[in-house]
């Protein structure tokens, strides 16, 4: 398992997480990879990317703990990054990036080649999410709108105004629902028609969230807690109160499938969280259902963390770089064969 975090101080942090026997969080790398603050990170299998206020996307090979390239298609700070990895593969097929310039770039991830740039919003992109099928994505922007992107044809297929600006968006694991964050509220919607099912309200502003299996959604923010919401009922399933002493800026759900006899081995019981005071903590959330748990392991980066991403995939292969290509192929993100 791998965790990657970004910070205001331009540093990228990489850790290898081991949970068997004695849990450890081993540092892999740490260096100033951007010219200004890192705003977002994403990890898929052996590759990680970070987006900065310097308009650049940096690519990292986790097997060698090295930076292997830079993408420079945007003309504004990078605000969102999302990989698409087909279920049968351990390496991502595509990368989507969003920027303060209001554009979304689509890349082939093997090798990294720019395929197309879309302009789904009139103002900056706040966040984006790729459907598990890889055929479409959703984005929310500073223009208080929601957009749907057809990733097969490479164009915007739907756009609507929201009552208020949404800052984050995610699909559930099955792709049947999606979630949007507006200040302290998390709204749950049907993926087919964007119909609002219900809203879940936190005590304070939500700054990070991650979807887990079995209908759970983990969220954190200014309340300094890690809260597991039951998205079937709209109620709190359990909460790690005081998980951090500062704002929670990143949450990652890590699922381990070890093929054991326990019927719940596929449940997301390992959750990592990062706070703005530089602390990364890893939790066994099974304990949170009974009592307030202690973190399995933690690391102090001594920096102001802004984001966190992770991957459960162990197998590594070296990512490749390609030159930027424009007007490439009609099918932007190829369907699974």
Ordered by start, the domain boundaries in the chain are 2-311
Length of the chain: 337
Q: How far is CA 55 from CA 36, 67, 72, in A?
A: 9, 17, 7
Of the candidates 288, 198, 204, 285, which has an alpha carbon nearest to the alpha carbon of residue 235? 198
Could you give the CA distance from residue 159 to residue 49 in angstroms, rounded to a whole number? Answer: 28
Residue with tokens 């459960």: 312
- pLDDT for the residue numbered 334: 35
Of the candidates 103, 138, 135, 109, which has an alpha carbon nearest to the alpha carbon of residue 121? 103
pLDDT higher for 223 or 290? Answer: 223
**Who's near 21: CB < 8 A, 6+ residues apart?**
none
Residue with tokens 């205001």: 8
- Look up the pTM and report it: 0.88
pLDDT average, residue stretch 155-172: 94
Summarised one tens digit per residue, pLDDT across range 242-264 is: 999 999 999 999 875 433 333 33
Say if residue 329's pLDDT is above 80. no
Q: Kindly report the average pLDDT of the chain as a whole number.
A: 88
Backbone angle region of 257, left / alpha / beta, with phi > 0 → left and psi within -120 to 50 → alpha: beta
**Who's near 210: CB < 8 A, 6+ residues apart?**
170, 217, 218, 251, 252, 253, 271
Backbone angle region of 79, left / alpha / beta, with phi > 0 → left and psi within -120 to 50 → alpha: alpha
Q: Residue 16: pLDDT band by 50, 70, 90 thresholds?
A: very high
Summarised one tens digit per residue, pLDDT across range 117-157 is: 999 999 999 999 999 999 999 999 999 999 999 999 999 99
Could you give the CA distance from residue 294 to residue 282 in angstroms, rounded to a whole number? Answer: 9
The CATH label, of 3.40.720.10, 2.130.10.10, 3.65.10.10, 1.10.645.10, for the domain at 2-311 is 2.130.10.10
CB-based contact 92:45 (threshold 8 Å): yes
Could you give the CA distance from residue 43 to residue 129 in angstroms, rounded to a whole number? Answer: 14
């Amino acid at each position: 398992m791998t965790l990657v975090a970004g910070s205001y101080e331009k540093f990228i942090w990489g850790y290898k997480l081991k949970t068997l026997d004695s849990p450890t969080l081993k540092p892999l790398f740490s260096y100033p990879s951007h010219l200004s603050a890192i705003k977002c990170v994403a990890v898929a299998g052996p590759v990680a990317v970070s987006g900065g206020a310097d308009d650049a996307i940096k690519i990292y090979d986790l097997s060698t703990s090295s930076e292997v390239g830079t993408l420079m298609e945007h003309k504004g700070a990078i605000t969102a990054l999302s990989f698409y990895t087909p279920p049968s593969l351990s390496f991502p097929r595509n990368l989507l990036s969003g920027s303060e310039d209001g554009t979304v770039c689509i890349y082939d991830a093997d090798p990294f080649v720019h395929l197309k740039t879309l302009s789904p919003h009139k103002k900056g992109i706040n966040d984006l999410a790729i459907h598990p099928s890889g055929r479409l994505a959703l984005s929310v922007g500073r223009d208080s709108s929601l957009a749907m992107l057809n990733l097969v044809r490479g164009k915007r297929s739907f756009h609507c105004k929201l009552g208020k600006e949404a800052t984050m968006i995610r699909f559930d694991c099955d792709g049947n629902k999606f979630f949007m964050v507006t200040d302290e509220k998390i709204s749950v919607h049907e993926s087919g028609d964007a119909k609002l099912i219900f809203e879940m309200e936190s005590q304070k502003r939500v700054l990070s969230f991650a979807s887990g299996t079995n209908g759970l959604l983990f969220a954190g923010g200014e309340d300094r807690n890690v809260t597991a919401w039951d998205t079937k009922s709209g109620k709190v399933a359990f909460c790690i109160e005081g998980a951090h002493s500062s704002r929670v800026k990143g949450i990652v759900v890590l699922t381990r499938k070890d093929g054991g006899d326990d019927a719940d081995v596929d449940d997301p019981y390992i959750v990592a969280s990062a706070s703005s005071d530089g602390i990364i903590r890893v939790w066994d959330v099974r304990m949170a259902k009974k009592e307030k748990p202690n973190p399995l392991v933690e690391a102090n980066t001594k920096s102001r963390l802004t984001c966190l991403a992770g991957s459960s995939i162990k197998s590594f292969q070296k990512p490749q770089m390609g030159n930027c290509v424009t007007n490439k192929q009609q099918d932007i993100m190829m369907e699974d064969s």
